[in-house]
Amino acid sequence: MNKTKMLVVAASLVLLPGLLCAAEWECEPDVEVQCTIKSCSVAEDQGIIPIGLSFDSHGTFSLCAYSGCWEGKGKVVSVLPFLVIKLRNVDWSDPSQRVEGREDVLIAFDAKDHVVMVKAGSISMPMRCEKVPRSKDGA
């Protein structure tokens, strides 16, 4: 077996457990950041920040902010060194905003320091994440 084939087999064996059993993460920000084409700003009132993200290594995510959520199963475009998930035209769950609530969502996660960068609409922010513990029955 040549070196390339051996590397592919070794990488498959390392990544296989993660592919079979998705790691799940829940994330929250320390600051709220909003960006437009002209500038980015940090919200002044940094009390409770009504934004949260949950996602898994298979690409399923829920990004909630204020009155609704963007939810879906995105395409996993990278696993190493960052888990990167993207999905275009994700519907906003607030029924009063149909087409206007659709946004492209990008999630880039670094498992080393448990930090994710998320982009959806004007939300452009880092968040701290914690791994969701697995129950003994696998649920």
pLDDT score for 18: 45
pLDDT score for 39: 93
Domain boundaries, the chain: 22-131
Q: How confident is the model at residue 97 (pLDDT cuts 50, 70, 90)?
A: low
Instruction: List residues bridging with 56 in a β-sheet.
Output: 24
Q: If you ran DSSP here, which 8-state letter would residue 101 be given?
A: G
- For range 75-85, the mean pLDDT: 96
Residue 96 has pLDDT above 70, yes or no: no
Which one-letter amino acid corresponds to residue 87? L
Tens of pLDDT along 55-74?
Answer: 999 999 999 988 889 999 99
* Residue 106, phi then psi, degrees to nearest 5: -130, 130
* Residue partners of 60: CB distance under 8 A and separation at least 6: 22, 72, 73, 74
Least confident among 22-26, 40-44, 103-107, 118-122: 40-44
Q: Average per-residue pLDDT in the chain?
A: 82
Residue 7 has pLDDT above 60, yes or no: no
Which one-letter amino acid corresponds to residue 61? F
